[in-house]
Structure 1
Amino acid sequence: MALERRRVEKDHLRALFRLKVAEDQKGLVAPNEITLAQAAYEAGSHVWGLWEGDTAVGLMAMIHPHEAGGMEEGEDPDAAYIWRLMIGAEYQGKGHGRAALDLAIGQGRDWGLPRIALSVVQADNSAIAMYEAAGFRRTGKIIEDEIVLSRDL
């Protein structure tokens, strides 16, 4: 499996909008339509479609902290931030989430930042275990009722 991230183009939208999480995961990550709409107003945001060959499997949005308009209390001013990571329900459990994290870690390194961070809804079916297996650790901070995790790059 070779996961690629691609800048979102107009002709990608239908494929990305078709992707949905499992019913029990709704509320853990915003739908792709919302992420793409919000990205236009989120300073420092970068959004990519996640593709396996010609198949859209997910969406990833990151924020470069030095390009962001302002930081929330508790946010790390020197950490690349994974703002959204969504893998379609039919593509979960196949390594796409971990591959997407590897792409995000590479982007954080390309930006020259020392850390990468994200926040997660605390729920039994959240992706916390996947993030911890990838080397992310809980920081002890909570932002907007979400658990903050980070790792050094």
Structure 2
Amino acid sequence: MTSSSPRLTPVTTDNFDAVCAVRLHAYQEDFVSPVLKSLAEAYVYGPLAWPRAIVDGDEVVGFVMAFLDFPWDGNPADRRSGLWRLNISADHQGKGYGRFAVGAVAEEVRRAGGSRLYVTWHAGERGPEPFYLGLGFRTTGELSGTQRVGVLDLPPSA
């Protein structure tokens, strides 16, 4: 990361174009949807979606979207919160922004009273599974569509 501190900011008219310009490496495009689709989903799902720009200094370096208190697979009795989408711009990968964004989402889920952070991913060579497992997520054995489901237990804030 650069010398400034990364932060999450809402997507606004001021940063919308920069957020939509976030591009992954070509080989990653099969693993995560583009930002524009995520923003459309955020519009459709309203308060269940929590989209944020990942900003360092004045530069948008990525995008993250969480789902908050979402009825898992349509089951209103099984409500979960977690990471819905994570896109780090290709030229900013490997600098800690992904780890920062997951940690920031975990804090938001914890603030909302959650004790677990869920994530789904497409399995495959060069996919995101090693990243999530390296952060401490464990697979649940569930699938959401064709995606593996992982969970991270969130200890209470100190």
| TM-score, shorter chain, exceeding 0.5 | yes
RMSD of aligned residue pairs (Cα, Å):
1.8
The C-alpha deviation readout for 1:36-89, integer Å capped at 9, x for no partner, is 112110141111000011010111111111xx4x43068993532211111011
Match of 1:14 in 2: 17
Long gaps (5+) in structure 1 = none
Match of 1:58 in 2: 62
1:86 alignment counterpart: 87
1:19-58 equivalent positions in 2, closer than 5 A: 19-43=22-46, 44-58=48-62
Query: Where do 5+ consecutive residues of structure 2 fail to align?
Result: none
Return the TM-score normalized by structure 2.
0.88
Corresponding letter in the other structure for 1:38 = E
Q: Is the 8 A contact 2:64 2:85 kept in 1?
A: yes
Q: Which amino acid aligns with 2:45?
A: E
Aligned length: 150
Checking the alignment, whether the CA contact within 8 Å between 2:143 and 2:149 is kept in structure 1 is yes
Moved over 2 A (4+): 73-79
Q: Normalising by the residue count of structure 1, what TM-score does the alignment of the two structures yield? A: 0.91
AA matched with 1:37: A
Shift of 1:144: 1.0
